[in-house]
Amino acid sequence: MSWYRNAVWFVKGLREYTRGGYESASRHFNPADVEVDVAGRSFLVTGANSGIGKATAKEIARRGGTVHLVCRNKERAEVAKEEIVTETGNQNIFLHIVDISNPKEIWKFAEKFQNEHKLNVLINNAGCMVNNRELTEDGLEKNFATNTLGTYIMTTALLPLLEKAADARVITVSSGGMLVQKLTISDLQSGNGPFDGTMVYAQNKRQQVVLTEQWARAHRNIHFSVMHPGWADTPAVRSSMPDFYERMKNSLRTEAQGADTVLWLAVSAEATKLPSGLFFQDRQPVPTHLPLAYTRSPPEDEEKLMQMLEEFSQKFKSVSPG
């Protein structure tokens, strides 16, 4: 059935995920939803030095929020911070250098962050699509380490801080590509068989949807959501999917259009009127499975995923410095 899923997803993408899809959906947006003052609220955005992460951080900064940029590359991050401060006039922009593919670094960062800051909204945006199987220094497959385990550790490590906050939210930037994948827990690090970076990425994004649903059930005081930004013209798309970019570049969304739903989920009062744990596209909850695609997984597999990630994360926590 994989050919069917891919075909349906691509047709759906041409209709909904492009710039035209955004422009059509945005006719129904209420601008007042995001015309809010969030001064005094604290937001953490991972992968914030470019693309959707930077666009989101910039719009939150315009609205007065305190923004913590979590980035891997110090030089690019400093340029992004300076740009955000200059364009918004908001001085409450803080920079943290963390590699989201390095679980020990995340634990160390989160421990320090909890002692020094408050947090109202966590935005898990950092991600990667590595097209050849590559291992991190910890022996983890890099896509899994960044997209799934990194997201899991960053969120679970900061849950105690979020539990203390008013109107706490966690937003994870996923992808519509997850619609072509059924959750697979037998080979989390893609070590068996041929390696297809695009499908590994889509599997990671399916895992993020499952994580969000599981967290929403377990943590009732926090509003969890996961979203698809559409097909946006970002540095990550250009570098990881050059053929796709060349075919679609004239139809791709801008970074700001891709970030719009992240911003809406992060700042609007309307977002939290909807149930926690939903998957969003263009400010609306949408199904997490295509019709007849057979991508639903049994509850025990979803629970097993959480158990496996917890075991992974604790292994790295136990050797974390400090």
Is position 201 annotated as part of the catalytic site? yes
Instruction: Identify whether the C-beta of residue 177 lies closer than 8 Å to the C-beta of residue 198.
Output: yes
CB-based burial, 71-84: b 16+ in 10 Å, e otherwise:
bbeeeebeebbeeb
225: its two tokens: 């959501």
CA–CA distance, 162 with 156 (Å, rounded to integer)? 10
CA–CA distance, 19 with 256 (Å, rounded to integer)? 11
Tell me how many helices (H) and strands (E) the chain has: 12, 8
- Which amino acid is residue 74, in one-letter code? K
For CA atoms 74, 142, 149, 53, the dihedral sign is: positive
CA–CA distance, 184 with 196 (Å, rounded to integer)? 15
Instruction: Identify whether the C-beta of residue 106 lies closer than 8 Å to the C-beta of residue 100.
Output: yes
Q: What one-character DSSP code corresponds to residue 141?
A: B
The angle subtended at Cα 279 by Cα 64 and Cα 154, nearest 5°, is 60
DSSP 164-227: TSTTEEEEEE--GGGGG-----TTTT--SS---HHHHHHHHHHHHHHHHHHHHHH-TTEEEEEE
Instruction: Identify whether the C-beta of residue 188 lies closer than 8 Å to the C-beta of residue 308.
Output: yes
- Catalytic: which of 4, 17, 201, 245? 201
Q: Which residues are catalytic?
A: 201
